[in-house]
Amino acid sequence: MRVTFPHMGNLFIPVKGMLQYLGLDVVVPPPSSKKTLTIGAKYGPEFACLPFKLNLGNFVEAYEKGADTIVMAGGCGPCRFGYYAQIEHAILKDLGYDMRLIVLEPPEKHLSELLAKIRELSGNKSWWHIFQAVRFGYRKAKAVDEVEMAALWARPRELTPGDTEKAYGKALRMLDKATSLRKLMQAKKNADQLLSAVAVDNKKAVVRIGLVGEIYTLLDPFSNQYMERSLGRLGAEVDRSIYLSEWVNEHIFMGLARGLRTRKKACQAARPYLRHFVGGHGLESVGNAVNFAQAGYDGIIQVFPFTCMPEIVAESILPKMRADYDTPVMTIIVDEHTGEAGTLTRLEAFVDLLARKKEAKEA
Residue 260: its pLDDT value, please? 59
Residue 119: its pLDDT value, please? 85
Residue 248: its pLDDT value, please? 84
What order of strands is seen across the sheet that includes strand 100-104?
25-26, 2-4, 69-73, 100-104
Residue 199: its pLDDT value, please? 98
Residue 79: its pLDDT value, please? 80
Residue 314 in domain: yes
Domain carrying residue 239: 205-363
> What is the distance between the alpha carbons of residues 213 and 21, in angstroms, rounded to a whole number?
32
Residue 34: its pLDDT value, please? 96
Residue 135 in domain: no
Residue 151: its pLDDT value, please? 98
Residue 132 in domain: no
Same domain, 266 and 333: yes
Same domain, 175 and 229: no
Residue 64 in domain: yes
Same domain, 119 and 35: yes
Same domain, 236 and 346: yes
70, amino acid identity: I
> What is the distance between the alpha carbons of residues 220 and 261, in angstroms, rounded to a whole number?
20
- Kindly report, residue by residue over 159-192, the tens digit of the pLDDT: 999 999 999 999 999 999 999 999 999 999 999 9
pTM, entire model: 0.93
93 C-beta neighbours (distance < 10 Å), count: 12
Cα angle, residue 342 at apex, residues 339 and 348 outer, rounded to 5°: 135
Same domain, 148 and 277: no
Same domain, 346 and 218: yes
Residues of the chain with pLDDT under 50: none
Looking at 184, 203, 222, the residue that finishes a domain is: 203
| The total number of structural domains that make up the chain | 3
166, amino acid identity: K
For residue 74, CA distances in Å to 84, 250, 318 come to 8, 15, 28
Residue 187 in domain: yes
Looking at 93, 125, 157, the residue that finishes a domain is: 125
Residues 6 or more apart whose CB falls under 8 angstroms from that of 237 comprise 152, 153, 155, 156, 157, 206, 207, 208, 209
Residue 130 in domain: no
